[in-house]
Amino acid sequence: MTLFRSIARTFAAALLLVGAGAQARPAPASPVTATPALWAVKDADTTIYLFGTVHVMKPDIDWFHGDVKRAFDRSDTLVLEIIEPDNPNAIGATMAGMAMAKDGVKLSDRLTPEARVKYQAAMEANSLPWRPFDMFNPWMSGLALSVAPLEKLGYKNDLGAEKILRSAATGAGKTVDALETVEQQVGFFASLPMEQQVQFLNATVDGLPDMEKEFGDLLRHWQAGQPDKLAKSMNESLEATPELAQVLLTGRNANWAKWIKARLAQPGTVFVAVGAGHLAGKGSVQEQLKALGIRASRLQEVKP
């Protein structure tokens, strides 16, 4: 169930931690120099860079330099998955409203006795009160459990690539756009059939002991610019969960590919930054672009 957990973490980090304030942290003694992958789509008068992000990071990763920084500096517009609302509580309110169980069934009652015990223990272990969550549908607890352990492990949203890129874009006077709205992103989970929501929650709970290793592996593959290994780490269960993959990954990739194709009709330079899993493996944005007759080239060097 790696796909459940990996996609959930990228969503959860983007949604649940939006607006989290920066916290005091010591300067890293020896930062790790990362070289994440970068692609470009071009025609005669338009360049669209494609950059895969990690939504939460630790303070010892130096990635905003070299090819990525040069491509960003050359761009007129930054395009993210979503634009964070100015009010940090807005996402929480949106999620709570869409997560409320309309049928009156308690979340705990949707689980088998064994799964319920494991779920409630996991919530308590991560300082999440399970009783108030009983009013919500399972996906809400699944997302919460996808984030809380990462916070304990020292990963910070304010160090995530989107935060850094948006701050740099704002400082440079670049336009900032988004591919989706907050409501759309929340809706991807809220629209899942109840059976898949329960499956997602159970998979998240079962995967908690492996979270540190799994996320650490994902981050290392991203830092090294290894999308193939990242895809294997994130998307290995695509074939086992095609319905979920279609909703959360490949369907969105197809929509974004269409957006990129349409954007090529306008001159300019655009820096598109989306979760790294969307630019890796089967059904990636690059594969969707290829199906539309558009080639995305991996860049080894971006000249100033």
Give the tens place of pLDDT for each residue, 116-136.
999 999 999 999 999 999 999
Taking each helix axis from N to C end, the angle separating 211-223 and 138-152, rounded to the nearest 10 degrees, works out to 70
Distance of alpha carbon 52 from alpha carbon 251, whole angstroms: 17
pLDDT at 7: 54
Task: Please tell me the distance from the alpha carbon of residue 103 to that of residue 106, in angstroms, as a whole number.
Answer: 9
27 in a structural domain: no
Report in angstroms the alpha-carbon separations of 161 from 19, 36, 59, 148, 273. 14, 11, 12, 19, 8
Q: Is residue 304 part of a domain?
A: no
Is the four-CA dihedral 74, 167, 84, 233 of positive or negative sign? positive
Measured over the CA atoms of residue 169, residue 76, residue 294 and residue 265, the dihedral's sign is positive
68 belongs to a structural domain: yes
Alpha helices in 208-274, H assignment, sequence order: 211-223, 227-235, 242-245, 251-263
Query: Which residues lie closer than 8 Å to 233 by C-beta, 6 or more apart?
Result: 2, 6, 214, 217, 218, 221
Quick one: pLDDT at residue 75?
98
Find the largest Cα–Cα distance for the chain: 61
Residue 99 maps to a domain: yes
What pLDDT score does 301 carry?
A: 55
Flag whether 73 is in a domain: yes
Domain span at 113: 2-16+33-298
Give the model's pLDDT for residue 238: 57
| pLDDT attached to residue 150 | 87
Burial per residue of 246-274, b for 16 or more beta-carbon CB atoms within 10 angstroms, e otherwise = ebbbbebbbebbebbbebbeeeebbbbbb
The number of distinct structural domains making up the chain is 1
The three-state secondary structure class of 138 is helix
**Residue with token string 């000249």:** 303
pTM above the 0.95 mark? no
**pLDDT reported for residue 56:** 87
Which residues of the chain are under the pLDDT cut of 50?
1, 3-4, 16-28, 303-304
The dihedral through the CA atoms of 229, 231, 235, 237 has a sign that is: negative
Q: Is residue 22 part of a domain?
A: no
Give domain status of residue 277, yes or no.
yes
Angle between helices 138-152 and 194-207 (to 10 degrees): 20
Tell me the C-alpha distance between 3 and 248, whole Å: 10
Q: Considering the domain boundaries, does residue 81 fall inside one?
A: yes
Pairing of strands 32-33, 61-62: parallel
Pick the closest to residue 216 from 164, 161, 150 (CA basis). 150
